[in-house]
Amino acid sequence: QSALTQPASVSGSPGQSITISCTGTSSDVGSYNLVSWYQQHPGKAPKLMIYEVSKRPSGVSNRFSGSKSGNTASLTISGLQAEDEADYYCCSYAGSSTFDVVFGGGTKLTVL
């Protein structure tokens, strides 16, 4: 059982926007602005796409954006492209008294 809850799958057509949610608790997502998002293509290592809720690492397209409200964080991908099809994982710091770091179960994005 994953500590953070994500939808199993989302889909969208090229050019559209999609949003992936990541629901935690007041002990992790709700308490810290330390949510990160990772993109993983089949057979590859995860790649950091968003950190500290909404910051983009150098080299990541500005089509990727992050936000948070209460215990739920979100990843939005605008102008969907075929290469965005991948699995996406959220992650949150959870405090030193518990898991320290918790991941979501992952969301499969299909570009139709």
Partner 1 sequence: QVQLQESGPGLVKPSQTLSLTCTVSGGSISSGSYYWSWIRQPAGKGLEWIGRIYTSGSTNYNPSLKSRVTISVDTSKNQFSLKLSSVTAADTAVYYCARSTVIGDWFDPWGQGTLVTVSS
Q: Give me the residues that bind partner 1 (CB under 8 A), please.
A: 2, 34, 36, 38, 44-48, 51-52, 57, 89, 91, 93, 96, 98-106
Shortest distance in whole angstroms from residue 90 CB to partner 1: 10
Residue 109 φ/ψ, nearest 5 degrees:
-95, 125
- Closest approach, Cβ 55 to partner 1, in A, equals 9
Which CB sits closer to partner 1, 13 or 26?
A: 26
Tell me how far apart the alpha carbons of residues 112 and 105 are, in angstroms, rounded to a whole number: 22
Name the residue nearer to partner 1 (CB basis): 53 or 77: 53
The minimum distance between CB 9 and partner 1, in angstroms, equals 13
Q: Residue 77 is encoded by which pair of tokens?
A: 């991908």
Sign of the alpha-carbon dihedral angle for 22, 74, 98, 25: negative
Coil, helix or strand for 36?
A: strand
Count of CB atoms situated within 10 Å of the CB of 24 = 24
Task: Identify which of residues 15 and 93 has a Cβ nearer to partner 1 in the complex.
Answer: 93
Residue 32 in contact with residue 83, Cβ under 8 Å?
no
Residue 83 or 100: which CB sits closer to partner 1? 100
The minimum distance between CB 101 and partner 1, in angstroms, equals: 4
